Chain A
């Protein structure tokens, strides 16, 4: 069984400064595997600065990892050339956050769809290209005759974001990286975009990595979840378990901070201990140390992942009596 995508102990550090080099660890030793035969939806969640966008950039090959390897179908993506690189570029697609910024306002939306068709020589004739475009648009629930030939400013944010999904779909990808695809879209349109994404996974066998800070939508669309904080995995596992019974103090804080649209569920039962302004450097220990209400002496050493159940693990000494699980085996926790 071939692995579609594999992260092997990937670390990404951003350094700056010429004489005194200071570096920020954006992603710390993350290992992850997605298999090819079982398409899934995996959520990577975390607040800003947690490294979730870095993870997307790494996986699309936009930036190289500082250490570790990223393999696509067994091949290191930084070493792909020619034919193989084209295949990688075609099979791994992205949908970005801002549906307004990805369109060139001077072209009709056809341009966005026809460029990949030309580039990857997907169509033999103009008529076939149009058919393909129409087919992709229909698949995301848009009517081609209402969309083709229009300019981006004539379309709503929700329509534009669905065109982006259609563009990705055109290339018959194996993996779709969706970086906050609904955060800039009206709440009433979110549902339809999420539904579109999920049907891609079901009907076209596309694996999706859904990157978000919004745990409500994550819960609805994903099978499994990885919660990141400052580049480190805090908690991972089955999305139902992690969201309904969060164990790591950080996950609990996140879940408790969601403003639920439910009048009977009040906000903020646990107090936020530290202000974000007082955050010092996390140092070598648990990244959440400075804000954690349960911080202990031993937290100054980076905690490993402790397995709480078949499909849940937390990187926290509160669960120190549970068996440890190596970070390389993170994927075993994630149901597909």
Chain B
């Protein structure tokens, strides 16, 4: 298959939060691209900037946060340059966001159907009632929910069903990019599998690119094509999923993979020593250097570039850089 033109390009995206105790750069020059139909996993500890990344792509960063630089191109359109009005239209039709707690993102006093109709109306005010309803019911069916869910309230549904309603709303307008922010973290394993299978199926059907945000490496191994590892707002490594799991390059990615429990090493718990630094007081150079087992002099002073070191593999580490 020839290399497709990317449907999503994030170029040098930078987001800062201005707090009383100083500026916290939650996203520091992140660039990545994604082709149609591709699935990218974005992993990192809490506070590493994964959710900021999702919100920035949706342009939903609220003060005191601000997008300071960079571009988000979806299908060639730069979302960061759109007017507020045009951005309203772009959300859901170009880029959709499936939030973390589905339980809390549905309106408890509106029927599911009314919330779906709202979403379509906002983008297509002249559509006929019948055609809107047909689209909604079709969306519900494609996530394996019965048509009568249309008339139900959120409290009548289980957690997995609510999450699938959110997916149905997300795909109503066939967006090019779907961002799923820990879509299953509140669900148990069986429901989680059903929800992930649903996302997989609808994604294939509409050919959208998916970004899956989370810290469950198991889910990543089972679901995505590429994994991006974030740490303190920067990308540390981006590799195809197989390489990431069998031969991680960045020391942080290695520690992350080694800390995973499996069935062969019962009772061996290997955490990552040290704790993630505060964004307000980042160490100089590579942000991971105080915890890194391979730290060198240069790591403490100059942050490494995020560069391609092998086929389809990008990493920000002097161990692999020519410049060191």
User: Which residues of A come within 8 Å of B, CB atoms?
Assistant: 47-48, 156-159, 186-192, 194-195, 198, 213-217, 219-220, 240, 243-244, 253-254, 257-263, 266-268, 272, 275-277
Contacts and interface: CB of A to CB of B under 8 A. Distances in A.
A254 B189 contact: yes
Interface string B15-54: 0000000000000000000000000000001100000000
Contact of B189 (A191, A194, A220, A257): A257
B189 A188 contact: no
Nearest to B242: A263
A262 B262 contact: yes
Interface string B263-280: 100111111100110000
A47 B189 contact: yes
Contacts of A272: 190, 193-194
B161 A277 contact: yes
B221 A259 contact: yes
Contact of A260 (B190, B221, B242): B221
A267 B222 contact: yes
B259 A191 contact: yes
A268 B196 CA distance: 11
Contacts of B270: 191
4 cross-chain pairs, A with B, having the tightest CB-CB distances, nearest first:
A259-B218, A47-B188, A191-B269, A191-B271
Nearest to B244: A263
B245 interface: yes
A220 B263 CA distance: 8
B251 interface: no
B107 interface: no
B76 interface: no
A52 to B, nearest CB: 10
B194 A276 contact: yes
Interface in B160-201: 160-161, 187-194, 196-197
B145 interface: yes
A243 B261 CA distance: 14
Contacts of A244: 263
A263 B221 contact: yes
Contacts of A195: 269, 271
Given A188-B255, A188-B272, A259-B221, A254 B190 contact: yes
Nearest to B278: A154
A216 B215 contact: no
Bin the interface of chain B by size: 35 or more
A258 B221 CA distance: 11
* Most chain B CB neighbours (cut-off 10 Å) among A188, A190, A192, A214: A188
Contacts of B268: 220
B161 A263 contact: no
A189 B48 CA distance: 14
A257 B160 CA distance: 14
A268 B261 contact: no
B301 interface: no
Nearest to B146: A277
B55 interface: no
Given A187-B217, A272-B193, A159 B275 contact: yes
22 contacts: A47-B190, A158-B275, A159-B275, A189-B45, A190-B271, A191-B271, A192-B271, A214-B189, A216-B262, A254-B190, A259-B189, A259-B223, A260-B218, A261-B220, A262-B262, A263-B221, A263-B241, A267-B193, A272-B193, A275-B144, A276-B194, A277-B161
B120 interface: no
B216 A187 contact: yes
Contacts of B189: 47, 213-215, 254, 257-259
A227 to B, nearest CB: 12
Given A188-B45, A220-B261, A276 B191 contact: yes
B275 A187 contact: no
Nearest to A186: B45
A276 B145 CA distance: 10
Given A186-B46, A267-B222, A261 B192 contact: no
